[in-house]
Structure 1
Amino acid sequence: MVYVDAPRYRLGRMVMCHMTADSLDELHAMAMRLGVRRWFQDKAGAPHYDLCKANRLRAVAAGAVEVSRRELLKKARECRR
């Protein structure tokens, strides 16, 4: 399963959110599907991609589940295990 949180992080003029998944394979597959390969981060053992609002909408349309920031962080840390 793939997860996204609410868009709330500014990057220039964009407002970003995060995307993670139950496994790295699922996470990278969704990123490739969305075309966001360059945004992968693995800080503090919480692998994720940063998404703009448009890609977030595309991810949700492709089956990503909307979760809170706290739940997304929990899922990201579980992904690494």
Structure 2
Amino acid sequence: MTVYVDDMNAAYGRMKMCHMLADTDDELHAMAATIGVAKRWWQSPEKTSGSHYDIALSKKALAIAAGAIEITWRQAGAMNTRRRVTGELGDPADAVEWVANLRAQRRAQAA
């Protein structure tokens, strides 16, 4: 099981934010607690594209120090898409390609 942080750098007030996601919600919440992020900041899959926290870059540094793996925002989005389809995040190394293949299959089926 793994926790991931992406390279998004979006403004939220004076802060810069990124996403933190994990293989399981238990692991995601455990990392949030470790780095001092309250569970009330959790973005549930019912409300967003997938289970994650939006965290400040200062918290990202703490997450990396605690073992989180850095990924790109494209990988994070692709991994969330894969989780919606298969139930698992999968490997960030092939996530973008996996989604491209999924979209190609869907286009072929629609044709």
Q: TM-score, normalised by structure 1?
A: 0.87
Alignment RMSD = 1.8
The question of 1:66 aligning with 2:67 is answered: no
In the other structure, the counterpart of 1:54 is 58
Q: How many residues matched? A: 80
In the other structure, the counterpart of 1:30 is 31
Stretches of 4+ moved more than 6 A in 1? none
Using the aligned pairs only, state the percent identity: 44
For residues 34 and 59 of structure 2, the distance between their equivalents in structure 1, rounded to whole angstroms, comes to: 10
Letter of the structure 1 residue corresponding to residue 19 of structure 2: H
Give 3-state SS (helix, strand or coil) of 2:19's partner: strand
For residues 74 and 25 of structure 1, the distance between their equivalents in structure 2, rounded to whole angstroms, comes to: 21
Higher Rg of the two aligned structures: 2
Structure 1 residues 11-33: Cα deviation after superposition (integer angstroms, max 9, x where no partner): 00000000000111110110111
In the other structure, the counterpart of 1:4 is 5
Q: CA deviation at 1:7?
A: 4.0
For residues 70 and 62 of structure 1, the distance between their equivalents in structure 2, rounded to whole angstroms, comes to: 23
Q: TM-score, normalised by structure 2?
A: 0.65
Q: Which has the higher helix share?
A: 2
Please tell me whether the aligned partners of residues 21 and 28 of structure 2 are also in contact (alpha carbons under 8 angstroms).
Answer: yes
> Which structure 1 segments of 5+ residues have no match?
none
Q: Which has the higher strand share?
A: 1
Higher relative contact order (CA 8 A, sep 6+): 1
For residues 26 and 75 of structure 1, the distance between their equivalents in structure 2, rounded to whole angstroms, comes to: 16
Give 3-state SS (helix, strand or coil) of 2:51's partner: strand
